Chains A and B, each alone.
Chain A
Amino acid sequence: QKEVEQNSGPLSVPEGAIASLNCTYSDRVSQSFFWYRQYSGKSPELIMSIYSNGDKEDGRFTAQLNKASQYVSLLIRDSQPSDSATYLCAVGGNTGGFKTIFGAGTRLFVKA
């Protein structure tokens, strides 16, 4: 059974700072990795996907993947109060129709 672990937080950062969210996973054959943002009472929204080792940048977001360490992270630069949400790490297999396993999420609070 795959496991995806995240620190539940809350992680509190001041506006403008870098928020660093971390995630570890147990299944070495995992091939796809995702970060979702979920506002309270809303459905998760995909913000980043990463499939190979290294960094992937998209605007203020950078995803980092290290398959050897089974570790994936999300950096949010210039954090804004609107970034305050729960961030879910998700890990999937390598075939179409894979089953994605979600972490419990990290609550991020950006203070104005």
Chain B
Amino acid sequence: GAVVSQHPSRVICKSGTSVKIECRSLDFQATTMFWYRQFPKQSLMLMATSNEGSKATYEQGVEKDKFLINHASLTLSTLTVTSAHPEDSSFYICSAATSNEQYFGPGTRLTVT
């Protein structure tokens, strides 16, 4: 299957700082990229959908000024968690979609202390 990478895989930051997570589709160009968040023992929750060159579409309840998404190219999207707080600690997963299927990155474990 298609390969999607995420970096970093794990990050610990202090409250109030910002963290950037990169998502890359390595062997295909993604029409759309998605960002999800998953808390322990819960399902994936879609945060936002982004298309290259346009503004991301955020799901209800997700603050666009807190979770900044930049979709610079058909193979790269970044999520920046600004002014992180302990409640932002979660597993952040990106996915990249072709016209038919969606492939997930390995996820980034964010811990805010």
B49 interfacial contact with A, CB 8 Å: yes
A51 (CB) vs chain B CBs: closest residue:
B100
B97 interfacial contact with A, CB 8 Å: yes
- Which residues of chain B are near A99, meaning CB under 8 Å? 34, 46, 49
A78 interfacial contact with B, CB 8 Å: no
Q: Of B1, B44, B93, B104, which is in contact with the most chain A CB atoms at under 10 Å from its CB?
A: B44
- Which residues of chain A are near B104, meaning CB under 8 Å? 36, 43-46
A104 interfacial contact with B, CB 8 Å: yes
Complex Cα distance A101/B44, Å?
Answer: 9
A34 interfacial contact with B, CB 8 Å: yes
A88 with B100, Cβ < 8 A, contacts A46-B1, A97-B31 known: no
* Chain A residues at the B interface, C-beta cutoff of 8 Å: 32, 34, 36, 41-46, 49, 51, 88, 90, 92, 96-105
